[in-house]
Structure formats: C-alpha cells, structure tokens
Amino acid sequence: MSKLRETRGQKIIGALEKNAVPILFGIICLIGIPFSGYSLGYLGQEIIVRISRNSFLIIALLVPIMAGMGLNFGMTLGAMAGQIGLIFMVDWGIVGIPGMILAMIISTPISAFLGWMCGKILNMAKGREMVTSYIIGFFINGVYQLIVLYGMGSVIPIKNTSLVLPRGYGIRNTVNLITIRKALDNLLAIRFLGISIPFATLLIIALLCIFIVWFRRTKLGQDMRAVGQDMEVARAAGIRVEHTRIVSVVISTILAGYGMILYLQNMGTLNTYNSHMQIGMFSIAALLVGGASVARASIGNVFLGVSLFHLMFVVSPPAGKRIIGDAQLGEYFRVFVSYGVITIALVLYEIRKRRKAARGGLLLAQDQVDSGEVDA
C-alpha cells in the first residue's frame, strides 16, 4: 500500500492539473499571436533572443531544487555579484569577451561567499527555504546599495567618471555596457531562415545543460537528490546534509552571477539598482510557466518556460492594443503575470502537498509517476 495507482481518467486529469500552468500560457499565446499581427519569423527571432538571454539564469535555479530546497529566490545574490563584476569591468576599461571573462572572474568569489552565507542561513530555516531566501535577497540588496551607492567612488576607487554620480561617489542609475554589448551574441552568429542565431551564446547554454546532466550523475548530484528526498535517511547514511545543501546554493549563486553577465551583455545597459531584483522574479516565473514545481524541475521546463513566458510578453502589447486599445497592458501584464504565476504555482504546490498529507501519504508515489528519470 505504499503507492496509489490511478485510473486512466484520473491520470489525464492529474496530468492536466500538473501542467495547468504551461497549458494556460500556451493557450494565451495561441490566442494572442494572430491579434498581435507579428509574423512567425519575427516571433521566432524574438524567442531565440530571449532563450539566449535568459536561459542561463533559469538553469541556475535547477541545482537547489534538486537538493530539495525549492526555488532559490536567493539567485538575486548572484545577479548582484555579476553586476559588481560588470561595474569593475567598465571602470577598468576591459572590453569585449575578455571583459566578460573578467567580470565573471570578479563575480565568482563574491557569489560564492554570498551563496555560502545564504546556504548557512537556509540550513537554520529548513522547510522554509523559499521565504527565507526571498528575504535574504532583500537584505543583501540593502548591502549592495550601500556599497554601490555610497562605497564606490569613495572607499572603493572608481576612475571612470562617467560611471559615477555627479556628486562624486556612487554609481549612476544606468551603466552603459556598450563595450560588451552583444560581444558574445555576435560571435559566430549565423543566419538561418532569416533568423539570426547567436551561436556562441547558445553553445555556452548547451554546455551548461550538459554540465547539469553530468552533474546529476556525479556523487555530489546523487547526494543532493538523496538530501532532497529525506534529510534524515541521507544523514543516517553518512551524507553531510548541511554541507551538501550549502554547496547547492553556492553553485546556484555562482551560475546566477554568470547568467546575469550573459543577460546584460545582451541588453547592453545595466540598471544598477533594479536589474537584479527583477531578474529573480522573472526567472522563477519563467521556470514555473515551463511546468516546473517547487520540488521538480528539468531542463525541458527551462526552455518551454522561457519560450512561453516571453512569447506572451512579446505578443501582449500589440494584442492588448488591438483588443483593448491600450499597449500599456503589455508592461502591466509582465509584472502582474510573473507575481501571479509564482503565487498560483506555490499555492497549488502547497494544496497538493496538504492533500497528500491528509490522505496519509498515500499519494506520495503519484508525483513521480510521469516524471520518469529526470526528477530533480
């Protein structure tokens, strides 16, 4: 009686329920596309751009989910580290790919330290990792502002005056990243069916995917999956539960830092005080739109999520204008929808968990039925 088997009807309903979010977004996009008036070629190009811009960041979320720590809202920490790397890069005047590499090198120790700290705190708040990491994000944002707004240019020397606020210290609201703008995207870019494809960027994302797949098969990945399932059993087997959890957050944070650099290289400008706060939210929302849950996310969820989530943002302004007569709707939608998706997905997850618990754990096995091998 360790498992509950369902009838076929229940299975279909269950599958629909589980994939409710991607299905809903799929439908919205399908309705929106004809109204938007965009050509398929244009939309294809947009999707390619968004995938190359955002997927790295979203993939950074997968590791803590594997370790049973839920969605790592603390990825904003990595984003901040990446931004700090970029600010120094601009200041020191290193351009192009070498500049990006420099930014990554600078970001790594900062990310690692922040991730380690975040992991430490999360170990004290087991079972409430998501809320806690969200709050840590706010807290470190305060520290970040302190450093960037007051420390840089005063305590920390910044030579490049165009970076500094007119008052003499603190970094400007926007930092121009023209020196690395699309440096990677344009490297080896190819045209295919009229769509320009940033080959080098996609290659790096592909390598990251391979890394994730490989990582799952390592001892460390296996330990994370074990810790994610049952900390007590893992501990009884001698796995260093706390350490493993910290490592998962550190990896996620470092990857988020790199992802942020990749993202901003595509955007070409850095909103010093905003970019990082939004990015966590959008990445998590995109992952959830791709059908991931708090406990389970795959690479497939990442790409489906980026495509659907951003397709919706591309089509909603013109579609909104056609239908309601207001293009502002699109922007409004963006924030509203991201928060909405996260809320709904979290609530659904909790409801399902409760329902399971109430039935005495009978449904425990159900979740894993159609997930197959990739279950972290």
Partner 1 sequence: MVDTSAPLLEMRNISKDFFGNQVLTDVSFSLHKGEILGLVGENGAGKSTLMNILFGMDVIQLTGGYEGEMLVDGKIVDYTSSFDAIADGIGMVHQEFSLLPDFTVAENILLNREPEKYSFISEVFGERLNSLDRNSMNEKSKKAIGKLGVAINSSMLVGRMPVGHKQFTEIARELSKESTRILVLDEPTAVLTEQEASILLSAVRSLANEGIAIIFISHRLQEIIDVCDTVLIMRDGKIVKNEKAQDLTIAQIARWMVGREVTHHADRRSFDYEHSSVMLSIKNLWVDMPGETVRNVSLDVHKGEIIGIGGLAGQGKLGIPNGAMGLFTAGGSITFEGKEIALNEPRRFLDAGMAFVSEDRRGVGLLLDESLDWNISFAAMQVNDKFLKKYLNGMLMWRDEKQIQAVAQQYIDALEIKCTSYRQKAKELSGGNQQKICLAKAFALTPKLLFVSEPTRGIDIGAKSLVLQALRDYNEKSGTTIVMISSELEELRAICDRIAIVTDGRISGILPAETPSEDFGLLMVSKRGNTEEKPA
Q: Which residues bind partner 1 (CB under 8 A)?
A: 1-7, 10, 214, 217-220, 222-223, 225-226, 229-230, 232-234, 236-239, 358-362, 364-365, 368, 375
Nearer to partner 1, 5 or 167 (CB): 5
Nearer to partner 1, 5 or 191 (CB): 5
Tell me the closest approach of the beta carbon of residue 223 to partner 1, in angstroms: 7
Element (H, E) at 175: strand 174-176
Tell me the closest approach of the beta carbon of residue 100 to partner 1, in angstroms: 22
Give 43-50 contacts, CB < 8 A, sequence gap 24+: 43/311, 43/314, 43/315, 44/193, 44/195, 45/195, 45/196, 46/310, 46/311, 46/314, 47/306, 47/307, 47/310, 47/311, 48/195, 48/196, 48/197, 48/198, 49/198, 49/266, 50/306, 50/307, 50/310
Q: Which residues of 179-202 are buried (b: 16+ CB within 10 A; e: fewer)?
A: bbbbbbbeeeeeeeeebebbbbbb
Nearer to partner 1, 17 or 331 (CB): 17
| Cβ pair 227, 78 in contact under 8 A | no
CA angle 73/79/83 to nearest 5° reads: 160
Q: DSSP per residue over 28-49, as a string?
A: HHHHHHHHHT--HHHHHHHHHH
Nearer to partner 1, 278 or 367 (CB): 367
Tell me the closest approach of the beta carbon of residue 13 to partner 1, in angstroms: 12
Nearer to partner 1, 2 or 162 (CB): 2
Nearer to partner 1, 158 or 295 (CB): 295
Tell me the closest approach of the beta carbon of residue 292 to partner 1, in angstroms: 16
Tell me the closest approach of the beta carbon of residue 315 to partner 1, in angstroms: 38
Tell me the closest approach of the beta carbon of residue 4 to partner 1, in angstroms: 6
